Amino acid sequence: MELQEVGRDVYACLQEDTGLGKSNSGLINRGGGLVVDTFWDLPHTREMIKHYADVWPKPAERVVNTHRNGDHCWGNQLFAGAEIIAHRACGEMFATEKPEAMQALRNAGGAGADSIMKVFADALSEFDFSGIELTPPTTLIDDTLDIELDGVKVSLIHVGPAHTAGDVIVHLPEQGVVFTGDILFRLCTPIGWEGTFDTWIAALDTIVALDPKVVVPGHGPLCGVEGPNEMKAYLEYVRAESKPLFEQGLSVLDACKKIDVGPYAGWTEPERLVFNVARAYRELRGDPFDSPIDITEIFTSMFQLREAWSSKS
Ligand SMILES: [Zn+2]
């Protein structure tokens, strides 16, 4: 984990993307302090707060949650008394994921566990979800919110439903910085929950149109506008590849086996392709953007896809 200055009075706390849940956060150290996203568990969020103390020794008075996934908001309780700002859909779906359930998964990889459970437990092993009390937003926005922090302008813009229904990006126009939340996964394969390809692509276009100097992705390293442009190309590619395979009646897993991830094979966890093909299938079937996702089936297919790729190479 490291702290980087990304503009005047603006910092990013970056975690190397080694897989599930290694997200990024931001701090504006003016006007009471504003933190963009907390981390997935209390130990990682405590470490983030220690880094921020180097440039802002007081507790931040405001926290923005870019969306509802635990890796962006399960550390909220460590900002006691702070105003927590998020989109209304983030607030409504805040309890969708449960820390106790995640802790049970983390601990389920022992003797007798099947290989899929072992892989999952292993991926979660460096987190500790104990002690987390879901701390939902206290201020809900519907569209945009402009805040001024002692002269620093901060704009929150709702761009969902893309990665989730309540996706918000945070723009600092004078510094030329955008915190994207999980609208942007940089050099790692995106996962989406409730949302559509069209809205996600439009959200990436919105980031590019803001013409930022520095883009802080939800996961992965800092970048410029090449980040959102490359991810847009990935989403368009996967959607286009999925269509004929859907029409041939292939299952999501079989379709994934036929798609050449080519230039994207080096992104972290390329087998998350399953999430994106499943989304394409959902749209091709005409299902609603927020129809339930069968997580067990998706993670099982990801495991099987990884096995299929490794037996080919
Ligand atoms: Zn995330």
Q: Which helix (H) or strand (E) holds 105?
A: helix 99-106
Q: Stretch 27-33: mean pLDDT, rounded?
A: 97
For ligand 1, the distance from its centroid to the CA atom of residue 123, given in whole angstroms, is: 14
Identify whether 148 is part of a domain. Answer: yes
Identify whether 292 is part of a domain. Answer: no
Rounded to the nearest 10°, the torsion over CA 238, 244, 245, 248 is 170
Q: What is the pLDDT of residue 312?
A: 82
pLDDT for 313 beyond 80: no
**What stretches of 90-225 adopt beta strand conformation (E)?**
139-141, 144-149, 152-158, 168-172, 177-179, 214-216
Identify whether 44 is part of a domain. Answer: yes
pLDDT band at 223 (very low <50, low <70, confident <90, very high): very high
Rounded CA-CA distance 90/220 in Å is 22
Identify whether 96 is part of a domain. Answer: yes
By the 8 A CB rule, do 279 and 293 touch? Answer: no
- Return the CATH number at 178: 3.60.15.10
Q: Stretch 240-259: mean pLDDT, rounded?
A: 98
For ligand 1, the distance from its centroid to the CA atom of residue 97, given in whole angstroms, is: 13
For ligand 1, the distance from its centroid to the CA atom of residue 222, given in whole angstroms, is: 15
In 3D space, the residue among 204, 216, 254 whose CA is nearest the CA of residue 24 turns out to be 216
- Residue 213 sits in which domain range? 2-237
Q: Write out the two tokens for 104.
A: 């049970």
Cα angle vertex 240, ends 236, 241, to 5°? 120
Identify whether 263 is part of a domain. Answer: no
Q: Stretch 194-222: mean pLDDT, rounded?
A: 98
Identify whether 296 is part of a domain. Answer: no
Q: Stretch 247-275: mean pLDDT, rounded?
A: 96
For ligand 1, the distance from its centroid to the CA atom of residue 191, given in whole angstroms, is: 9
What residues are neighbours of ligand 1 (ion), with CB under 5 Å? 23, 69, 71, 182, 218
* Residue 18 neighbours by CB distance under 10 Å: 12
pLDDT band at 37 (very low <50, low <70, confident <90, very high): very high
Burial class from Cβ neighbours inside 10 Å (0-12, 13-18, 19+) for residue 152 reads buried
Identify whether 115 is part of a domain. Answer: yes
For ligand 1, the distance from its centroid to the CA atom of residue 21, given in whole angstroms, is: 6
Handedness of CA 138, 206, 13, 98 (dihedral sign): positive
Identify whether 52 is part of a domain. Answer: yes
For ligand 1, the distance from its centroid to the CA atom of residue 247, given in whole angstroms, is: 32
How many domains are there within the chain?
Answer: 1
pLDDT digits (tens, 9 = 90+) for 4-13: 999 999 999 9
For ligand 1, the distance from its centroid to the CA atom of residue 75, given in whole angstroms, is: 13
For ligand 1, the distance from its centroid to the CA atom of residue 23, given in whole angstroms, is: 5
pLDDT digits (tens, 9 = 90+) for 110-145: 888 888 888 889 989 999 999 999 999 999 999 999
